Amino acid sequence: MSESTRIAEVRVTPILISDPPLLNVQGVHQPYTPRTIIEVVTDNGVSGIGETYGDTDYLKIAQAFGPKLVGQPLTARNDLFARVSAAAAEVDIAQIDNTVVAEGLRGARTEVKLVHSVVSGFEVALLDALGHETGLPVHALLGGKVRDRVEYSGYLFYRWAEHPVAGEPQDDWGAALDPAGVVEQARRFADRYGFKSFKLKGGAFAPEQEVAAIHALHEAFPDAPLRLDPNGAWSVQTSLEVAAALEGVAEYLEDPTAGTGQMAQVAAKTSLPLATNMCVTAIDEVPAAFTSDAVQVVLSDHHYWGGLRATQDLAAVCRTYGKQLSMHSNTHLGISLAAMTHVAATIPELYYACDTHRPWQTEDVITVPHTFTDGAVDVTDTPGLGVELDRESLAALHRRWLDSDVRDRDDAAAMRRVHPDWTAPAFPVW
């Protein structure tokens, strides 16, 4: 390759992937959830792949931006935000009002975050292609790995055994609706993948029940670091009661309460660290959260932080302020897991296991899905991301998208299929 290597072709493919009925404060996961798969092809015929959120607005922007990348240099990534923003300005974005919606599962919903999520899909695809062009792994393009394995935590969910409608995707995990069910799920996670730490998605039941589940996990796995994440569902008072009940048991509480102000009130009165993927989700949210010491651990999501380089930038900011960094996830496939693993491998100060939803997925768009051993994924040294697109699978999952009318994640709508009167609760819920 040379400096003049350019992008000759871009493919943006929406897909629907099957998802189990996992519960959270907003409802339950739908049987299918959208993702966007991005492929770039250079004028040397070399391809790179990326993955990001696939809901309507993300997809519209990705589809608007894709053709504009054709003819651009492969190495030009630093102005992606400006270029994707310009494409976003041309499309009608339905769900953005630029207000801070503290109760969302991923914090504030802003156009910047939407654009960042699209940028990340393209950045990863460009880095993958650059890696194939140069023979270097993505971590080397990011400055080099500082570890050979990236540790992930077992991400436990309260869940139903199956979706309510016959013929919808099924798995063999069974229900988990009480502390015993959560412990059984953790045992399977530990046996299958060797996870050494666990995070429980909370906000699905009353805090006492979720505290009991963490205590049951602690009894079953006395050495395992444990986390509980109700996605901001509790009041300051409830958060403090939970913190008191879990001191010495949990390694941190994740978003116990909604918003930086309330998180700061909780943080001031507990020695338990607080982590977030809701109140620090973009750089302009950092000053308030860090100066008020509202959070001690920031959970980056390379998608909505704007990519892998942006994640490294966030790591530098956290380092400056003495904050810890780890990683958040949403339902995702192997291209994203590869990207998460490469960037995590380059960050020296990564002391907490990263999140991943990947074990919950039964499908993938890569030919050889990752293996978790002892709760970790090996960092590959093969060129690019080190994964290969499974074209047959991509075509099948795209066909599912074409044949379905599911276009956005909507956990509340999925809950209403079972409880017709259900509405996402007002915060604080407890």
**Catalytic site residue 357?**
no
Is the distance from CB of 258 to CB of 101 less than 8 angstroms? no
Our CB check for ligand GKR shows the closer of 120 and 277 to be: 277
Interacting partner of 342 out of ligand GKR, Mg ion, none (Cβ under 5 to 8 A depending on kind):
none
Binding mask 224-253 for Mg ion (x = CB under 5 A): -----x------------------------
Is the distance from CB of 333 to CB of 17 less than 8 angstroms? yes
Stretch that binds ligand GKR, among 129-137, 204-212, 324-332, 339-347 (CB under 6 A): 324-332
Q: Phi/psi of residue 269, each to 5°?
A: -120, 15
Stretch that binds ligand GKR, among 137-145, 239-247, 327-335, 340-348 (CB under 6 A): 327-335
Stretch that binds Mg ion, among 21-29, 223-231, 388-396, 407-415 (CB under 5 A): 223-231
Q: 310: which residues sit within 8 A by CB, 6+ positions away?
A: 116, 120, 302
Q: Two tokens at 424?
A: 């996402």
Question: Binding residues for Mg ion, how many (CB under 5 A)?
Answer: 3
Q: Two tokens at 124?
A: 């990863």
Our CB check for ligand GKR shows the closer of 106 and 342 to be: 106
Our CB check for Mg ion shows the closer of 197 and 277 to be: 277
Our CB check for ligand GKR shows the closer of 312 and 330 to be: 330
d(CA 240, CA 430): 12
Stretch that binds Mg ion, among 93-101, 167-175, 256-264, 270-278 (CB under 5 A): 270-278
d(CA 68, CA 10): 9
d(CA 412, CA 424): 6
Q: What are the residues facing 14 on neighbouring strands?
A: 36
3-class secondary-structure state, position 40: strand
Is the distance from CB of 15 to CB of 152 less than 8 angstroms? no
277 is an interface residue for Mg ion by CB under 5 A: yes
Report, in angstroms and rounded to the nearest whole number, the Rg of the chain calculated over CA atoms: 21
Binding mask 64-103 for ligand GKR (x = CB under 6 A): ----------------------------------------
Interacting partner of 22 out of ligand GKR, Mg ion, none (Cβ under 5 to 8 A depending on kind):
ligand GKR
Interacting partner of 55 out of Mg ion, ligand GKR, none (Cβ under 5 to 8 A depending on kind):
none
d(CA 6, CA 232): 45
Q: Before 428, cis peptide (omega within 30)?
A: yes
d(CA 36, CA 222): 40
Shortest Cβ 359–Mg ion spacing (Å): 17
Is the distance from CB of 102 to CB of 427 less than 8 angstroms? yes
d(CA 235, CA 77): 42
**Catalytic site residue 60?**
no
Q: Which of residues 102-121 bind Mg ion (CB under 5 A)?
A: none
Is the distance from CB of 386 to CB of 356 less than 8 angstroms? no
Task: Give the residue, chosen from 106, 132, 159, 342, that forms a contact with ligand GKR under the rule CB under 6 A.
Answer: 106
117 is an interface residue for ligand GKR by CB under 6 A: no
Shortest Cβ 19–ligand GKR spacing (Å): 9
Stretch that binds ligand GKR, among 266-274, 309-317, 323-331, 421-429 (CB under 6 A): 323-331
Q: Considering 196, 199, 201, 357, which one is annotated as catalytic?
A: 201
Our CB check for Mg ion shows the closer of 48 and 202 to be: 202
Sign of CA dihedral 405, 408, 411, 413: negative
Q: Which of residues 196-235 bind ligand GKR (CB under 6 A)?
A: 201, 229, 231
Q: Considering 132, 163, 328, 357, which one is annotated as catalytic?
A: 328
Q: 129: which residues sit within 8 A by CB, 6+ positions away?
A: 40, 41, 42, 46, 47, 48, 74, 384
Residues that bind ligand GKR (CB under 6 A): 22, 24, 105-106, 201, 229, 231, 277, 328-331
Chain residues in the site for Mg ion (CB under 5 A): 229, 254, 277
Instruction: Give me the active site residues, please.
Output: 201, 328
